[in-house]
Amino acid sequence: MTTFADLGLLPELLKAVEEQGYTVPTPIQAQAIPVVMAGRDMMGGAQTGTGKTAAFTLPILQRLAPHASTSASPARHPVRSLVLTPTRELAAQVEESVRTYSKYVPLRITVVFGGIAMEPQTEALRRGVEILVATPGRLLDHVQQKMVNLSQVEVFVLDEADRMLDMGFIPDVKRIISLLPPKRQNLLFSATFPDEIRKLCASLLSDPVTVQVAPKHATADMVSHQVYPVARERKRDLLVHLIRSRDMRQVLVFCATRLGANRLAYQLNREGVHAAAIHGDKTQAERIEALEAFKAGKVGVLVATDVAARGLDIEDLPYVINFELPNTPDDYVHRIGRTGRAGKSGEAVSLVSPDEHEKLADIEKTIRKQIPREIVAGFGPDAARASSLMPERKAGRREREQPSLTGRVQPRPEQFNARAHADDIFFKPYEPATPAVEATAESRTAAAGSLAGTPRKPEPQVAALLGGWRRTDR
């Protein structure tokens, strides 16, 4: 087994790692550290939670260590490494990690992100920093004010590139890249590789080495899924009922919008369920406060949007509840990744209203599993619609996959093994785009099926929330 010492890290870095109590490099660390130390460009398929921050931070510190200087002159501290992250939380976490690992290497580090005053950041930039962690918008603000010079960047890291794309940051990222010197090392990390990101990789990376790891604990993940069909206007009542009747004490609830998250947290508090919201409109201080209160158990329910939750180091949650289904199946996978970690079982609960049936069908297609439904007595859609809300009964389908219309407790939902997840990008090495990759949705679906050894019909009978409903758009 590879140890950190085997990787050839400096004693100063080994000491800092040891103080963290880390004995064995994670798979992404074992694979990426030698690549980055060799100065190669890298494309890392890895999510937050895999140890990817140390995977790029340690070799960057190793590379920059000879530049460490105690000189007070700003000229002796140019920005030599730039790490771009999509969210403030992730930026703050990355900066904290860099500080931790650089404890015995006197390099200067700072982080800049929006939502807080610019002046302290400006001051730090003026004094000079070797490692700059930033979100794109705020970095460009500093660039505009000529407070930062990126012309001496040796190593550029683009973290969570797919989330940058989701958040519409790619134009900003490209502008920032255009400010970097042409000769530099580039590292890109992404959990998924949609076409846009593949294109970005092709333009950004030069002869990259690909390193791909499964999400942390992916094989051990034991997440059970449950769908509760419910009329949209009864979702909040059902949520309160579930939290109370099942004595849920630490729940991450996902909403589609900031407004929705705020409103839900407010309403839950009014009903006596202690909740806090975390989303992009909150100040950094408010978000940190909410997160800390949740982690400490002072607040039982954290209501979040996808954007705010991405990058948060919240682990081992017993429950994740989708108050609204996410827009993409990828986001569903990210959401449920918050539970069932470290071999513990977790539950992913979705409150699904009839208008969300397409999203549910897409999710089921992606995870290649029909999620059991259960109508909780008194909370389902009205009787006339109830029968049409359920998936079609297929000959031979196991009875436990049938929803209960009585509200009686169903048998435990099937355990979900993330390995069976159909998004092979999590488990397969990256392959550059070829005509096959650019193929149509149908052939992608068929290819995904055959890769897993389970040939699929091009038009599988995906269970729709609305009975008898079929996809017609692909």
Tell me the CA distances in angstroms from 185 to 132, 178, 289, one per residue in order. 15, 14, 36
Give 53 or 350: the residue with its C-beta nearer to ligand AMP: 53
Q: Which helix (H) or strand (E) holds 351?
A: strand 345-352
How far apart are CB 456 and ligand AMP at their closest, in Å? Answer: 33
Give 221 or 364: the residue with its C-beta nearer to ligand AMP: 221
Cα 24 to Cα 18: distance, rounded to the nearest angstrom? 10
Give 49 or 326: the residue with its C-beta nearer to ligand AMP: 49
How far apart are CB 48 and ligand AMP at their closest, in Å? Answer: 5
Q: Given the rule CB under 6 A, which of 45-53, 76-84, 335-343, 356-364 is the region that contacts ligand AMP?
A: 45-53
Matching residue, tokens 């030599």: 80
316, 284, 339: which is closest to 87 by C-alpha? 284
The answer to whether residue 48 forms part of the interface with ligand AMP (CB under 6 A) is yes
Q: Given the rule CB under 6 A, which of 19-27, 240-248, 401-409, 453-461 is the region that contacts ligand AMP?
A: 19-27
Give 29 or 87: the residue with its C-beta nearer to ligand AMP: 29
| Residue choice 27, 44, 45, 49 for contact with ligand AMP (CB under 6 A) | 49
Q: Given the rule CB under 6 A, which of 51-59, 71-79, 177-185, 441-449 is the region that contacts ligand AMP?
A: 51-59
Give 85 or 445: the residue with its C-beta nearer to ligand AMP: 85
Cβ contacts of 298 within 8 Å, gap of 6 or more: 274
Window 153-212: residues binding ligand AMP (CB under 6 A): none
Give 29 or 81: the residue with its C-beta nearer to ligand AMP: 29
What is the residue type of 269? N
Cα 29 to Cα 25: distance, rounded to the nearest angstrom? 5
Window 21-40: residues binding ligand AMP (CB under 6 A): 22, 25-26, 29
Query: Can you give the length of the chain in residues?
Result: 474
What would the two tokens of residue 327 be? 């827009």
CB atoms within 10 A of CB 405: 17
Give 83 or 464: the residue with its C-beta nearer to ligand AMP: 83
Give 313 or 442: the residue with its C-beta nearer to ligand AMP: 313
185, 217, 70, 198: which is closest to 130 by C-alpha? 70
| Residue choice 44, 45, 51, 215 for contact with ligand AMP (CB under 6 A) | 51
How many angstroms from the chain centroid is the CA of residue 425? 14
The answer to whether residue 373 forms part of the interface with ligand AMP (CB under 6 A) is no
Cα 89 to Cα 78: distance, rounded to the nearest angstrom? 25
352 bridge partner residues: 229
How far apart are CB 341 and ligand AMP at their closest, in Å? Answer: 11
How far apart are CB 50 and ligand AMP at their closest, in Å? Answer: 5
| Residue choice 31, 50, 190, 366 for contact with ligand AMP (CB under 6 A) | 50
Tell me the CA distances in angstroms from 238 to 199, 226, 323, one per residue in order. 43, 14, 10
What would the two tokens of residue 256 be? 């589609």
* Total residues at interface with ligand AMP (CB under 6 A): 12
How far apart are CB 458 and ligand AMP at their closest, in Å? Answer: 37
Quick note: the x/- pattern for ligand AMP over 271-310, rule CB under 6 A, is: ----------------------------------------
How far apart are CB 74 and ligand AMP at their closest, in Å? Answer: 30
Matching residue, tokens 């074992």: 30
42, 248, 234, 76: which is closest to 155 by C-alpha? 42
Cα 156 to Cα 25: distance, rounded to the nearest angstrom? 22
CB-count burial class (<10 Å; 0-12, 13-18, 19+) for 40 = middle
| Residue choice 9, 13, 54, 158 for contact with ligand AMP (CB under 6 A) | 54
373: which DSSP letter?
B
How many angstroms from the chain centroid is the CA of residue 356? 22
Give 158 or 230: the residue with its C-beta nearer to ligand AMP: 158
Give 33 or 255: the residue with its C-beta nearer to ligand AMP: 33
Give 316 or 414: the residue with its C-beta nearer to ligand AMP: 316
116, 100, 110: which is closest to 74 by C-alpha? 110
How far apart are CB 216 and ligand AMP at their closest, in Å? Answer: 7
User: According to DSSP H, which parts of 130-234 are helical?
Assistant: 136-144, 161-166, 170-177, 195-204
What would the two tokens of residue 329 be? 């199946």
How far apart are CB 53 and ligand AMP at their closest, in Å? Answer: 3
Quick note: the x/- pattern for ligand AMP over 94-133, rule CB under 6 A, is: ----------------------------------------
Q: Given the rule CB under 6 A, which of 42-50, 159-167, 187-195, 415-423 is the region that contacts ligand AMP?
A: 42-50
Cβ contacts of 364 within 8 Å, gap of 6 or more: 370, 371, 462, 463
User: According to DSSP H, which parts of 249-322 are helical?
Assistant: 258-270, 284-295, 306-309
Q: How far apart are the first and last CA of the chain?
A: 46
The answer to whether residue 52 forms part of the interface with ligand AMP (CB under 6 A) is yes
| Residue choice 53, 212, 305, 353 for contact with ligand AMP (CB under 6 A) | 53
User: Where does this chain bind ligand AMP (CB under 6 A)?
Assistant: 22, 25-26, 29, 48-54, 313
